[in-house]
Amino acid sequence: MGAESNTATIIGAGGFIGQALTRRLQAMGWTCRLPSRDTDWPQHGVSHGHIFHCAGLTADFARRPADTIEAHVSLVSRVLQSEAYDSLVYLSSTRLYDGLAPGSRAFEDLSFSVSPREPRHLYDLSKLMGEAACLALGPGRARIARLASVYDDHGSDNGFLPQLLTRIAATVRGEEIRLASSPAFSRDYVHMDDVVDGLIHIAVSGKADIYNVASGRNLRNDALAALIGETSGRHIRFDSETVPAAPPDIDVTRMAAEFGWRPGSVADKLSPILSALD
């Protein structure tokens, strides 16, 4: 991607992904509009360029159901009613695939089985409704990015691996970190740099309406612990011995075919950083 000037409107620019996306676009010479939470939508007579809807709730969706619905459904539906924008990228989640049969393959065009009586499905239903709003109100311009578990180099308060990286940095070499998880649990992790690249590609040149933004590989906790031990000298101990069902494999063929998508592995991204820790 070149550094030609462009315009982006980033909704949720203060969040984990929104901040990283804003930094990258500004470094590329883009003009970034960062509307506040109290901005009235829709906005007419204003050129929004490429809109990135990064506002959402994950960890606290059950505690804040009204805010979840507002962010995932109501807000994006109002934004989509604006007229002057080139594209809108709605950040959804590969968590929608959690109900698939163990070890199955998750493609973008699958259907879902959800129930309003299932508390966890409030999250799924809100994301799916936001996706449906994009397809109904922004055909040809609105695109959906289903993100896997995103991490960066420095850790944060967002997600299992970012939180673990923060704990590793605060732990002395040779000491043990205990985790309330199982060594058999696995996730698809994708690095922030790859995610930001993917989102920009989707906005500027995406041809499809839904994309899986993932590594396409699941990493088990025991393999992650081995990597951490070998490269950082910190040891991971798991408090659970349960063996959960294998998660689906997220298919990234669409991203690869359109954009040459080749996200780096956790080992490639983190080994140099973990090795440099004291």
Q: What is the pLDDT of residue 57?
A: 85
Whether pLDDT at 278 is above 80 = no
Q: What is the pLDDT of residue 61?
A: 87
Task: Please report, rounded to a whole number, the percentage of residues in the chain having pLDDT higher than 90.
Answer: 77
User: Which strands, in side-by-side order, build the sheet including 87-93?
Assistant: 31-33, 7-11, 50-53, 87-93, 142-147, 210-213
| pLDDT tens track for 81-114 | 998 999 999 999 999 999 899 889 999 999 999 9
| pLDDT tens track for 10-22 | 999 999 999 999 9
**Which of 78, 193, 70 shows the shortest CA–CA distance to 138?**
78
| pLDDT tens track for 180-233 | 999 999 999 999 999 999 999 999 999 999 999 999 999 999 999 999 999 999
Residues sharing a CB contact under 8 Å with residue 158, sequence separation 6 or more, in sequence order: 16, 58, 59, 150
Q: What is the pLDDT of residue 4?
A: 43
What integer best gives the mean pLDDT of the chain? 92
Domain extents for the chain? Answer: 7-151+189-216+248-263
Q: Tell me the two tokens of residue 232.
A: 């950082």
7-151+189-216+248-263: CATH topology is Rossmann fold (3.40.50)
Q: What is the pLDDT of residue 205?
A: 96
Q: What is the pLDDT of residue 2?
A: 43
Whether pLDDT at 173 is above 60 = yes
**Which of 5, 23, 36 shows the shortest CA–CA distance to 199?**
23
| pLDDT tens track for 146-163 | 999 999 987 666 678 888
Q: What's the rounded mean pLDDT across residues 5-33?
A: 94
| pLDDT tens track for 68-82 | 999 999 999 999 999
Q: What is the pLDDT of residue 157?
A: 61
Q: What's the rounded mean pLDDT across residues 247-269?
A: 96
| pLDDT tens track for 121-137 | 999 999 999 999 999 99
Whether pLDDT at 26 is above 80 = yes
Q: What's the rounded mean pLDDT across residues 52-67?
A: 89
Rounded CA gap, 66 and 68, in Å? 5
